[in-house]
Structure 1
Amino acid sequence: MRRRTFLGLGALLGIGACTVREAKMGNRYYAGPPSDHFDGTEFFNPGGQPPRGFRDLLRWQIAGDKADWPDRVGITQEKPAERVTDLRVTMVGHATVLIQVAGLNLLTDPVWSRRASPFSFAGPARVTAPGVAFADLPPIDAVLMSHNHYDHMDIATLRRLHERFAMPVLTPLGNDTIMREGVSGLDARAGDWGEVLAVDGARIRLLPCHHWSARGANDRRHALWASFAIETAAGKILHIGDTGFDEGRPYAAAAAHGPFRLAILPIGAYAPRWFMRFQHQNPEEAVAGMEIAGARHVLAHHWGTFQLTDEAREEPPERLRAALDAKGIAAQRFRAIPPGAAWDVPA
């Protein structure tokens, strides 16, 4: 069975390399005026909670309560069509989803690397292959990058995508700096919460979510995190890469830009709750978010590819089914499909 290394997990979370921050350092990625979610140096969740620190990370790891995951889970890879006139989503794995809508091809938080880690030798490793082989990708018109954690921002994959497609990457403030440093010539376009970034055939509005950011020990919250409301000719789509439920506030903010034909929502990496609840919602909260945001259909992601937390691999979709039953919501409206599966979303 796979064992998570402390070194790799600490690097993934951006909190494992130091125990004390002696003083607030200058922002490495972004310079701008203070706002209701930026203090001039660090971004923050208005009225929310900051991420846990090293001492809490150590307490969690010492507890040793993580479930065993399989080393490998077999899948059948999908070869997508070049273009889709209506709306189809294909699960690649974790937070990577191919959205094909009204002739436009979008990728969310693309990771084709073996590990979600800054290291090639340590950190969470995939238990499933990507649901789409990289060579089988259709033309990619834009990438949506929600934030800079290693299970979402993979510079090696971005470099491959840039070399093949030269597509723009749409992202919250500060992340553009990181990506341009890692990928020469990358067209990285950054926006703040509430701003709209356009690509051919779509308008993408950046919205608040309750999360945080880090690539290492000294850049905590130096780049912003966001969700995306995507307006297309075939309907509106809400994509959230990572969020804590935060009393439903991220979904209330999104609801003003709906209703949504489809939402793409995280359901995994939530245990233990005392450590994870402010950064990762659980399946029950995802169902509540679906209702608040006014999403007709939902694709679940952020489960089953990388073991980041304590819950068993199949627990998130099992709890999702129970939560839907408890609310009387048809299971076909909120689907947790495996990597390599595609879904033609009903109109």
Structure 2
Amino acid sequence: MKVTRRRVFGLLAGAAVAVGLPSVWISRMKTYAGPPSDHFDGTQFFDPDGAPPRQFWEVLRWQLTKKSAKWPEKAPSGHSDVPPPRVTGDKVRFSYVGHASWLIQTAGLNLLIDPVWSDRCSPFTFAGPKRVNEPGIPFDKLPAIDAVLVSHGHYDHLDIATLSKLAAKFSPRVITPLGNDVTMKSYDSAIRAEAFDWNERTELGNGVSVTLVATRHWTARGVFDRNKALWASFVLETPAGKLYIVCDSGYGDGKHFRRVRDAHGPLRAAILPIGAYEPRWFMRDQHMNPDDAVKALGDCGAAVALAHHHGTFQLTDEAIDAPVKDLAVALDAAKVPRDKFVALKPGQVFEI
């Protein structure tokens, strides 16, 4: 195999997004400083019920030996949403932007989840995973954004360029786990980032609140900041019921999902990841496959689930259409109706 400079950068960028292998020039970033807890040792965060991130040699083994399915350069969804200015009352409107990005409208509030409008989710502007379909909502068609939820620091979830554009246009609150606020503000002081720990709750207004909950993942952006910021899922309380938003997570034994059910149930809906899962030996501890996601739906007890984290950026080895096909197989095997776990395309809308 010929090793070119572009391939080296591509390997680094791919690893940076999927597993947090960092870029050198951002290794001096400031990181979180706070008191120790049951998931923070004073230097790094950890999940007592999770798994540590893969070692560097495992990252290289995967990147140098992987046999990825070929994705198309472009895979237009065929849909584009122009949301209403507001959705009032006890309705919820979910608009799928792509990958892990959503616009959720309810109770007169407009909320974005892990917004990524950039062409690449990478520490490099010229290499790394490039989107194969346009965001399901053109940026200039967004309604006024009141708040943004950012789950963790990996490049396919925390997109500084998009957060800066949102800050300049709407100045929304940005709710994120501990330490990610430092990352955001060090790049753009206009980003109104507010950091919270697991199990902390904050009011968003109009009877809507959000609680950060533990999830089976990890994070990094720079050489020396592995797990120096926290990662989380979200439970969004709305007049329509509680929504469980999982942006990245492994399954493990399902404990994280059952805890959310016990502490926050009943759940009206869940957003669950189904993509970026191959090779399984490498990804199982940090990303669910569709079979895991169906189990997670059963564990959390949500009435309905929406699938995401697939079909926009090629982060791992499976084919572009594998997650949706595998989800159908997993639902049938578990005897779960297919309309209970819906996979939208960017630009499509789901309402409850």
The reply to whether TM is greater than 0.5 is: yes
1:70 maps to what in 2?
72
2:142 to 126, 137, 147: 137
Give the C-alpha shift of residue 304 in structure 1: 0.3
Question: What is the CA RMSD across the aligned residues, in angstroms?
Answer: 1.7
Match of 2:128 among 123, 132, 141: 123
Distance between the aligned counterparts of 1:183 and 1:235, measured in 2? 34
Q: Report Cα offsets for 1:14-59 as digits up to 9, x if no partner.
A: 32568xxxxxx99942111111111110001113211112211111
User: In the alignment, what sits opposite 1:231?
Assistant: 237
Q: State whether residues 28 and 222 of structure 1, in contact with CA within 8 Å, keep that contact through their aligned partners in structure 2.
A: no
1:196 to 197, 201, 215: 201
Residue 219 of structure 2 is aligned to residue 219 of structure 1 = no
Runs of 4+ with >3 A deviation: 25-28
- Stretch moving more, 168-177 or 52-61: 52-61
Aligned ranges for residues 19-98 of structure 1 at < 5 Å?
Answer: 28-75=30-77, 76-85=79-88, 86-98=91-103
| Cα-to-partner distance string for 1:87-125 (whole Å, 9 max, x where unaligned) | 110110000011112222110000000000111101100
User: Which residue matches 1:310?
Assistant: 317
Distance 2:107 2:339 in 1: 22
What is the CA–CA distance in structure 1 between the aligned matches of 2:248 and 2:117, rounded to whole Å? 18
Letter in 2 for 1:123: G
State whether residues 303 and 316 of structure 1, in contact with CA within 8 Å, keep that contact through their aligned partners in structure 2: yes
Task: State how far apart, in whole Å, the 1-side matches of 2:23 and 2:243 are.
Answer: 37
Query: CA offset at residue 11 of structure 1?
Result: 2.9
Contact 2:199 2:213 in 1 (8 A): yes
CA contact (8 A) 1:196 1:204 kept: yes
How far is 1:64 from its partner? 2.7
The gaps in structure 1 that reach 5 residues or longer are 19-24
> Within 2, Cα distance between the matches of 1:339 and 1:254?
27
Correspondent of 1:187 among 192, 199, 216: 192
Structure 1 residues 118-127 or 75-84, which shifts more? 75-84
1:114 to 108, 113, 119: 119
Distance 2:50 2:267 in 1: 25
Q: Distance in 1 between matches of 2:135 and 2:351?
A: 19
Give me the TM-score of the superposition, normalised by structure 1.
Answer: 0.94
Contact map agreement 2:29 2:183 (CA 8 A) in 1: no
Tell me the amino acid that sits aligned with residue 71 of structure 2. W
Give the alignment of 1:243-258 within 5 angstroms.
243-255=249-261, 256-258=263-265
1:337 aligned residue? 344
Gaps of 5+ in 2: 1-6
Q: Name the residue aligned to 1:261.
A: 268
Offset at residue 185 of structure 1 (A)? 2.4
Instruction: Give the CA deviation at 1:216.
Output: 1.8
Q: SS of 2:264's equivalent?
A: coil
State the Cα distance separating 1:235 from its structure 2 match: 1.0
Give the partner amino acid of 1:321: A
Q: State the alpha-carbon separation in 2 of the partners of residues 11 and 73 from structure 1.
A: 23
Alpha-carbon separation, structure 1, partners of 2:319 and 2:199 = 36
Is 1:172 the counterpart of 2:177? The answer is yes
Deviations 1:325-344 (A, max 9, x none): 11221111111110010111
For residue 288 of structure 1, the aligned residue among 282, 289, 295 is 295
1:271 pairs with 2:261: no
Question: Does structure 2 retain, via aligned residues, the 8 Å contact 1:16–1:54?
Answer: no
AA at the equivalent of 1:84:
V
Q: Structure 1: how far apart are the matches of 2:29 and 2:256?
A: 25
Q: What code does the residue aligned with 1:277 have?
A: R
Q: How many residues align?
A: 337
1:323 alignment partner AA: A
For the Cα contact (< 8 Å) 2:12–2:21, is it kept in 1?
no
Percent of aligned pairs with the same amino acid: 51
Aligned amino acid, residue 60 of structure 1: W
Q: Tell me if the contact between 1:149 and 1:213 (Cα under 8 Å) persists in the aligned partners.
A: yes
Q: Is the 8 A contact 1:264 1:301 kept in 2?
A: yes
CA distance in 2, matches of 1:173, 1:16: 19
- Which residue pairs with 1:299 in the alignment? 306
CA distance in 2 between counterparts of 1:178 and 1:275 reads 27
2:69 aligns to what SS in structure 1?
coil
Aligned partners of 1:16, 1:272: CA distance in 2, in Å? 21
Q: Deviations over 1:65-92 (max 9, x none)?
A: 1101000011321111111231110110
